[in-house]
A and B are shown apart, each in its own frame.
Chain A
Amino acid sequence: MIPELGHFALILALGVALIQVLVPAYGVWKRDARAMAVATSAAQTQALLVFISFGCLMASFINLDFSVAYVAANSNSELPMIYRITAVWGAHEGSLLLWVAILAGWTLAVSVFNRRLPADITATALSVLGVVSVGFLLFMLLTSNPFDRLFPVPQDGKDLNPLLQDPGMVIHPPMLYMGYVGFSVAFAFAIAALVSGRLDAAWARWTRPWTTTAWLFMTLGITLGSWWAYHVLGWGGWWFWDPVENASFMPWLVGTALIHSLAVTEKRGLLKSWTVLLAILAFGLSLLGTFLVRSGVIVSVHAFASDPARGVFILGFLTTVLGASFLLYAWRAPKLVSEGEMTLFSREGLLLINNVFLVVASASVLLGTLYPLVVDALKLGKISVGPPYFNAVFIPLFAPLLLMVGLAATVSWKRAKAGEVIRHLRAPFIIALIAAIAVPLLIHERAPVAVIAGGFLGFWAIVTALQEIWRRIRAKTGFVSGLVGVPRGVWGMSLAHLGLGVWALGVTFVSSFSVEKDVRLAPGQSIDLSGYEFRFEGVEPRTGPNYDSDFGTVTIEHSGEVVATVHPEKRLFRATQQMMTEAAVDHTPFRDIYVALGEPLDAQGAHTGDWALRLYYKPMMRLVWLGGALMVLGGLLAATDRRYRLSRAAESRVASNSVVA
């Protein structure tokens, strides 16, 4: 009964979504206020229906209703409750429902927080969001219905993919989808701007907090995904350049560019058609990611079970939506006239260069991801593109970005004075350079050129970001009033740039000073790695809720003192018979020690004999994720800046003055 209810709610949602597309569009065309007003109620009704449907699927999982094929494939009577709930988005069908539910949530938010928007913009934007919703609802109902019944009903389910039974996986997909789907709002506003022909500072101001919010969720999702991979996959890496990772990284890069170009459009009335294009691209790349992950055109470690019919549908949908958007763009964008002139040595000039680097970076990721397909299509053979390509392309593209981040706050709008900029940046430059040489020497007693270069870029971003906050505080009389007086937008920008610097430091140290060792140890035996003494205490059998585990114990000592006792595990999941490595990590802010169990090396006794172990010492590993977390926090502050919460009257006044601002 519950599954049928969920299925029925989905069908109804499709009907309502069609109304949400057609009636407001008619209203905008005929300038009929009543038809335009339908957008809001349709969006809210649709959201309610989709949430009901989502709840029904979740209820089926909680009740272990194995008559639902999707539940039977992704759950098991032994599966702990929390993973039964997250199993809802553990595979293709359910994760699509999550996609649609999050889209409904964003649409609902637009329909509620639209008081400051002109009626025709709201109606167009909601109509566009409705188109996206129709596409995905149709996709689900036609090719991937999560409520399909299974007969005969199996005794027990096949269990959730063990890789996904991890706390990181509980929240990683929803956060990432919040980001992917969130870019649809910026996209909808971009289409509304093209349709109405009005693209002014007020438009940029509506779009900015939505974009920043989507971006911060995406940053969080990517960071969590990297953290999860590090803990669960057991190879000690945090980024693999896998096509699915790239699928999330491309819209992130373009979204980052969009955040910056929106600032230029709002403050200076420039880069209008470019901003609109980025908004379409960010969402387009999100759709492309969905296509790549689910169609099976590209080999990836975590592609979903693929089905050509699904691929054809998404490709058709992607072509329709993006084709129409780009044609609309080609027709309308030439009329979006910029309101001022641009000089290169100014904040807007630097932001344009930043945009170029980010978009080129995104394009090179796209190229690397699709290259195997291109080569195959041209009948030149089968190849795969791996980390060496991406690292070689990325370092030269990211280094200038980090340099420019330092200039961001100092270089003023319109026309900057070189002398002033140099005077401001002399101190940060010297501090960053000294830190870049001193820190590696102090910790590791050597400072290769690559570390000094990477460290300098990291410290440079950090020091200049702090300097901006400091300058704002000093401008006021007292320290406290100064601290309070710093606008959230400035905090947000500075924290995000600081986060980028912290991330760069982490990457530099991890990639230069990591030590790893594959060893064979008997119980009681010890080995030294980077001054840490690892004593293998042995492995004992343990029983988890739905798995049997070889539970290892390793004691880590540093200069005679025990610093940690860690428990790496090998879990054999009973229902799927899949083996999972749970690496054990002991971390401080400045180093990670990572222990993963390999294989038992004595056939006789897994619990008495020798084991293969993999040990890593990774300095500054935490900084990689701390950087991500700081960017998220920065995004959160920027998105909730006071000026986005101004009253409508103030809004229109500011809008009319915006060109000068």
Chain B
Amino acid sequence: MRYLIPVVVLAALVVLFAFGLQHDPREVPSPLIGKPAPAFNLKLLDDGTSYSNADLKGRPVLVNFFASWCEGCQVEHPVLLKLAREFNVEIIGMDYKDKPEDVTNWLARHGSPYRKVVMDEEGTAGLDWGVYGVPETFVLDAAGTIVYKQIGPMTEQAWREKIAPLMAGAKP
């Protein structure tokens, strides 16, 4: 009987790994889910006027932390463009630790899915929002409460299965 121990241990490990393959270990649940969006007051990219968390209220929006220097942002970019154009989703871009000229060039080259681009040059808003790597996307309901956080690039699957239902249900 003791000769069967290795097989049993292996079987347990395989079950564990099968579970592991379906989960991303980098996905840390955000403590901000269900809480109001953290306060910020920053400048907009195009005209330099100020934009704050109060401006996010009144309709469901996506708040997308991105940067011109970030590779994952290029990966998700076509998906964001599709959401903005085909589904008319309001996406607010938070340009994280980036320079205005760099991001202007970047958006000119790739196209902009954003209604507004907020400059978070120092990364202070990112810190308050608990961003630990761009891209990250927050789903806010009409009351300005965070209902979901997408870590890493936005995907069509995440949109279809998670975010679209949330946004539909978050209308005022």
Residue positions of A touching B, CB distance < 8 A: 273, 277, 280-281, 284, 288, 291, 295-299, 308, 311-312, 315, 318-319, 322-323, 326-327, 329-330, 333-334, 370, 372-374, 376-377, 382, 577
Neighbour of B3 across the interface among A308, A315, A329, CB < 8 A: A329
Taking A297-B23, A376-B25 as known contacts, 17 extra A-B pairs with beta carbons closer than 8 A to each other, sorted by chain A number, are: A277-B6, A284-B10, A295-B20, A295-B21, A296-B25, A297-B20, A298-B20, A315-B14, A315-B18, A318-B14, A319-B14, A323-B7, A370-B13, A372-B25, A373-B16, A376-B19, A382-B25
Residues of B within 8 A of A333 (CB): 3
Q: How far is the CB of A383 from chain B (nearest CB, A)?
A: 11
Q: A329-B3, A329-B6 are in contact. Are A308 and B21 (CB under 8 A)?
A: yes
Residues of B within 8 A of A374 (CB): 16
Within 8 A of A (CB), among B31-56: none
Q: Which of A297, A326, A372 contacts B21 (CB 8 A)?
A: A297
B21 near A298 with CB under 8 A, answer no
Contact across chains for A330 and B3 when beta carbons are under 8 A apart: yes
**Which residues of the partner chain B approach A315 to less than 8 Å between Cβ atoms?**
14, 17-18, 21
Contacts of A327 in B (CB 8 A): 7
With beta carbons under 8 angstroms apart, the residue of A308, A312, A326, A370 that contacts B6 is A326
Chain B residues within an 8 Å CB radius of A295: 17, 20-21
Q: Cβ of B18 and Cβ of A330 under 8 Å apart?
A: no
- A377 touching B16, Cβ below 8 Å: yes
Query: Is the C-beta of B165 less than 8 angstroms from some C-beta in chain A?
Result: no
B108 at interface, CB cutoff 8 A = no
Closest 6 CB pairs of A and B: A297-B20, A326-B6, A326-B7, A330-B3, A299-B25, A377-B19
Q: Which residues of A contact B19 (CB under 8 A)?
A: 373, 376-377
Residue of A nearest to B27 (CB): A382
Q: Which of B20, B28, B29, B69 contacts A373 (CB 8 A)?
A: B20
Any chain A CB within 8 A of the CB of B4? yes
Cα A318 to Cα B6 in complex, Å, equals: 14
Q: What is the bound-complex CA distance between A252 and B22, given in angstroms? A: 29
**Interface residue B26 (Cβ < 8 Å from any Cβ of A):** yes
Which of chain A's residues have a CB closer than 8 A to the CB of B26? 299
Closest to B24 in A: A296
Number of B residues near A (Cβ < 8 Å) is 22
> Is the beta-carbon distance between A312 and B21 smaller than 8 angstroms?
yes
Q: Is the CB of A273 within 8 A of B18?
A: no
Question: How many whole Å from A129's CB to the nearest CB in chain B?
Answer: 21
CB-based contact A291/B17 at 8 Å: yes
Q: A308 — nearest CB in chain B belongs to which residue? A: B21
Contacts A373-B16, A374-B16 hold; do A322 and B28 have CB atoms under 8 A apart?
no
Minimum CB–CB distance from B96 to chain A (whole Å) comes to: 16
B29 to chain A: which residues have CB within 8 Å? 382
Cβ B16 vs Cβ A298 within 8 A: no
Which residues of the partner chain B approach A370 to less than 8 Å between Cβ atoms? 13, 16
B17–A323 touching, CB < 8 Å: no
A374 to B23, CA, bound (A): 12
Task: Provide the residues of chain A in CB contact with B24, threshold 8 Å.
Answer: 296
A376: contacting residue among B10, B14, B18, B23, CB under 8 A: B23
Q: Can you show 11 pairs from A to B with CB atoms below 8 A apart?
A: A297-B23, A299-B26, A312-B21, A318-B14, A319-B14, A329-B3, A330-B6, A334-B3, A373-B16, A373-B25, A376-B20
Q: How far is the CA of A273 from the CA of B4 in the complex (A)?
A: 12
Bound CA span A587–B69, Å: 38
Tell me, rounded to whole Å, the shortest Cβ–Cβ distance linking B14 to chain A.
5
Alpha-carbon gap, A330 to B25, bound state (A): 34
Residue contact B28 to A382, C-beta cutoff 8 Å: yes
Bound together, the chains give a CA A330 to CA B29 distance in angstroms of 43
Q: Knowing A326-B7, A330-B6 touch, does A577 contact B69 (C-beta < 8 A)?
A: yes
Closest to A284 in B: B10
Q: Are B3 and A273 in contact (CB under 8 A)?
A: yes
Which chain B residue has the least Cβ–Cβ distance from A280?
Answer: B6
Residue in chain B with minimal CB distance to A300: B25
Best-buried of B6, B23, B26, B69 by chain A (most CB within 10 Å): B6
Kindly name the residue among B13, B26, B29 whose own CB sees the greatest number of chain A CB atoms within 10 A. B13
In contact, B10 and A319 (Cβ under 8 angstroms): yes
CB contacts (< 8 Å) of A577 on chain B: these are 69
Measured CB to CB, the closest approach of chain B to A253, in angstroms, equals 16
Instruction: Give complex CA distance A311, B20 in Å.
Output: 10
Expressed in whole angstroms, the Cα–Cα distance for A577 and B68 within the complex equals 12
Interchain CA distance A373-B7 in the complex, whole Å: 20
A143 CB to closest chain B CB (Å) equals 13
State which residues 118-168 of B face A: CB under 8 Å: none
What's the Cα separation between A329 and B8 when bound, in Å? 13
Say how far A231's CB is from chain B's closest CB, in angstroms: 27
Nearest residue in B to A298 (C-beta to C-beta)?
B25
A291 and B24 CA atoms in complex are apart in Å by 15
Which one of B10, B16, B23, B28 lies within 8 Å of A326 (CB-CB)? B10
Closest Cβ neighbor of B12 among chain A residues: A374
Cα–Cα distance between A173 and B132 once the two chains are bound (Å): 30
**Which chain A residues lie closer than 8 Å to B10 at the CB level?**
284, 319, 322-323, 326
What residue in chain A is nearest B25 (Cβ atoms)? Answer: A299
A377 to chain B, nearest CB (A): 5
Is there contact, CB below 8 Å, between B14 and A297? no
Closest-CB distance, A258 to chain B (whole angstroms): 15
- By a CB distance below 8 angstroms, the chain A residues around B11 are 323
Residues of A within 8 A of B28 (CB): 382
Known: A323-B10, A373-B25, A382-B28. A297 touches B3 (CB 8 A): no
B7 touches A330 (CB 8 A): yes
Q: How far is the CA of A327 from the CA of B11 in the complex (A)?
A: 12
Q: How many angstroms from the CA of A581 to the CA of B69 in the assembled complex?
A: 20
How many Å from the CB of B10 to the closest CB on chain A? 5
Once bound together, how far apart are the Cα atoms of A150 and B69, in whole Å? 23
Task: Give A661 to B4 CA distance when docked, in angstroms.
Answer: 33
**Chain B residue, CB-CB nearest to A373:** B20
The residues of B that contact A330 with a CB separation of less than 8 Å are: 3-4, 6-7
Docked Cα-Cα span, A377 to B20, in Å, equals 7
- B3 contacts across to A, CB distance below 8 A: 273, 329-330, 333-334
Residue of B with least CB distance to A372? B25
